[in-house]
Chain A
Amino acid sequence: MIALIEQAIPVLIEGFWITALIGLSSIVLASVLGLGSALMRVSDNRLLSGCAFAYSTLFRGTPLLIQLFVLYYGVGAIGAVREQPALWWLFSDGVRCAILAIGLNSGAYMGEAIRGGLQSVPRGQIDAARACGMGRALAFRRIIFPLAVRQAFPAYSNELVLAIKGTSLASTIAVMELTGYARRLMSQSFLIVETFIIAGILYLAINMFLLGCAHLVERRLRIERPH
């Protein structure tokens, strides 16, 4: 029994690193997509905001598993994609496909969080910045963005945990990550609860680490107000 657990731990830790790789890569991708789509959502250009709305609604309205299967089995089966080396490089590999799918999915949710932050910036602040002679870009960089980030950060950090949880679906497209190895151990041995506990602790560790980092960032972002 103890010997079996000792064998299971290194296997799960091997999966843990793949989970961390997919999770962190997709979080980076999702943050870029989220910021981009939030900026498009609040823009005055109807076409841009419409596209961002469609992206956000479609990716939040369907299960991640469907999105993953559409990208991996659907797009990967299109002839034109197979002939394009760059596209085939992306869609032929489970890990890259999982990063893309989770990044796209999580980006839609992060976009909503960031949009909330952008819209919470008081109109007067923007007017004041413009009245001081700041250009649009400068006002965005110095006034709007710093205020929006503070407002959006708690909702954004919730999405980090959801993105990590989403990485477990990579096991369904034959990527052996933490949940993939856990499933194999559960189906092949009698260590079902033990496997769950070890894998659960590993997931908890990533999530606690990310939330800890988020907490530090949030503290740094806090504005010290004079009493």
Chain B
Amino acid sequence: MNMSLVDILQSGWIGMLLRGAGMTVFISLCGIVLGTAIGIAGAAVKVGGNRLARGLVGLYTLIVRSVPELLIIYLLFFGTVQPAADLADYLEWDELMSSAFPMLIGILAIGLISGSYGVEVFRGAFKAIDPGQIEAARAFGMSRAQCLRRVTLPQLLWYALPGANNVWQNALKDTALISLVGLVELMRAAVLGAAATREPMALYLMAGALYFIIGLFSQGLFVLAERRFGHGMRRAAA
């Protein structure tokens, strides 16, 4: 049974794919926020922490970066699925559990993975900030928190933008792996659609096109951000 493209368009799977794409973007965004926090914290430790803390951050980045993303997702999923089910049972939140659990796993996984790459990005950005500026801010009488908010963070984010773009693009593509533990995002919607319409080629190509468009669009946003926030700044040396 061969369906024409028109049949597929009318069968409602396009809407399903678009809803999936929405979930993909949502998970990527939440994951990248967590990853950015992990990245900045990890970079701060690597720049100014003691030996033990530096070693722990180094171990985290080594493990997460050399082990496949899928294996990390399986660890998070199988490691928490039983306790989470027990907890949901106890609290009688079974319905919430079945929909929210894969999402939480997805956000956590994307956060941990993008965070491990973020550490290096933000470490480079920390090093690009002239220490004289921080000394000057402190000499003006700014507290550490004020100095962080007014001097360090704005420049840190600017210097990290090009690297963060890479991390974001990878995070976006890594969300496809969350489909394997049951989250209905773009990839999972395509798999379900392929099974229902028996047109795997069309569904997977459309899903691929959607990933590509999301990536292209966010790439444009990064370019805009670099232009918008780039006034009076120089580029970080590699």
Report A's interface with B, CB cutoff 8 A.
58, 61-67, 69-70, 73-75, 77-78, 161, 164-169, 171-172, 179, 182-183, 186-187, 192-193, 196, 199-200, 203-204, 207-208
Q: When A and B form their complex, what is the total count of cross-chain residue pairs whose Cβ atoms lie within 8 Å? A: 109
List 23 A–B pairs whose Cβ atoms lie within 8 Å, in order of A's numbering. A62-B211, A62-B212, A63-B173, A67-B208, A70-B201, A70-B204, A73-B200, A74-B201, A75-B201, A77-B200, A165-B68, A168-B70, A168-B71, A169-B177, A179-B68, A186-B79, A187-B78, A192-B75, A192-B79, A196-B71, A196-B75, A203-B71, A204-B66
Q: Which residue of B lies closest to A188 (CB)?
A: B78
Q: Kindly state whether residue B5 has any CB partner on chain A within 8 Å.
A: no
Do A66 and B211 have beta carbons less than 8 Å apart?
yes
Q: With A and B bound together, what is the CA distance between A164 and B68 in angstroms?
A: 8
Contacts of B198 in A (CB 8 A): 77
Contacts of B62 in A (CB 8 A): 204
A interface footprint on B147-182 (CB within 8 Å = 1, 0 otherwise): 000000000000000000000000001101101100
Do B71 and A69 have beta carbons less than 8 Å apart?
no
Question: Chain B contact residues (Cβ within 8 angstroms of A): what range?
Answer: 20 to 34
Contacts of B211 in A (CB 8 A): 61-63, 66
Do B205 and A74 have beta carbons less than 8 Å apart?
yes
Do B70 and A179 have beta carbons less than 8 Å apart?
yes
Do A77 and B66 have beta carbons less than 8 Å apart?
no
Do A183 and B74 have beta carbons less than 8 Å apart?
yes
Known A66-B211, A69-B191, A172-B180; 4 more pairs at CB < 8 Å: A65-B179, A66-B190, A70-B205, A204-B66
Q: Kindly state whether residue B67 has any CB partner on chain A within 8 Å.
A: yes
Do B215 and A61 have beta carbons less than 8 Å apart?
yes
Contacts of B115-158 to chain A: CB distance below 8 A: none
Do A65 and B177 have beta carbons less than 8 Å apart?
yes
Closest 10 pairs (CB-CB, A-B): A168-B68, A74-B201, A63-B176, A73-B200, A186-B78, A63-B173, A165-B68, A62-B208, A168-B70, A196-B75
Do A192 and B78 have beta carbons less than 8 Å apart?
yes
Do A186 and B201 have beta carbons less than 8 Å apart?
no
Do B71 and A73 have beta carbons less than 8 Å apart?
no
Do A66 and B79 have beta carbons less than 8 Å apart?
no
Q: Kindly state whether residue B69 has any CB partner on chain A within 8 Å.
A: yes
Q: With A and B bound together, what is the CA distance between A65 and B79 in angstroms?
A: 23
Q: With A and B bound together, what is the CA distance between A98 and B121 in angstroms?
A: 31
Smallest CB separation, A190 vs chain B (Å): 9
Smallest CB separation, B169 vs chain A (Å): 8
Q: Kindly state whether residue B87 has any CB partner on chain A within 8 Å.
A: no
Q: With A and B bound together, what is the CA distance between A62 and B137 in angstroms?
A: 44
Q: Kindly state whether residue B207 has any CB partner on chain A within 8 Å.
A: yes
Do B66 and A186 have beta carbons less than 8 Å apart?
no
